[in-house]
Amino acid sequence: MLEPLRNILIDSLRADAIRHELRLFADIGIEEPNMHPYLNDDQKTLPGDEQLIIAIHFWRGWMEQASDLKSKRYQGIELADWPGLARELADDLQNQRPVANRLVLDYFA
């Protein structure tokens, strides 16, 4: 059950990194409904896999930031930083290694 969600997150983070670089901010998170069948209805998160929870929180934070580009909700994360952070997180998910990026952990863990 976790593998399909992991794959959705990996693919979506990478696709959104490209969208971000193309300045298609309104399309960031377009695949988010694809993960809903794998989440708990009450929490909209998946308990028991901290790495996936961090990725979901990161992705949702990025969606919020992309919808309000003037917001400085995440101090230390500049607009241009999101694609690189997303790719790093997608690599962590793909390789099933712990998330190590301090900014990602500070805001989304």
pLDDT at 70: 84
- Count CB-CB contacts under 10 A for residue 71: 10
Angstrom distance (rounded) from CA 51 to CA 89: 9
- Does pLDDT of 77 surpass 60? yes
Considering the chain, what is the average pLDDT of its residues? 90
CB atoms within 10 A of CB 14: 17
Position 46 scores a pLDDT of 61
**For position 60, what pLDDT does the model report?**
94
The 10 Å Cβ neighbour count of residue 60 is 15
Is pLDDT at 49 greater than 90 in this prediction?
Answer: no
- The mean pLDDT of 1-19, rounded to a whole number, is 93
Q: Model pTM?
A: 0.90
Q: Above 80 in pLDDT, residue 106?
A: yes
Q: Print burial letters for 20-32: b (CB count within 10 Å at least 16), e (below 16).
A: beeeebeebbebb
Residue 45 has pLDDT above 70, yes or no: no
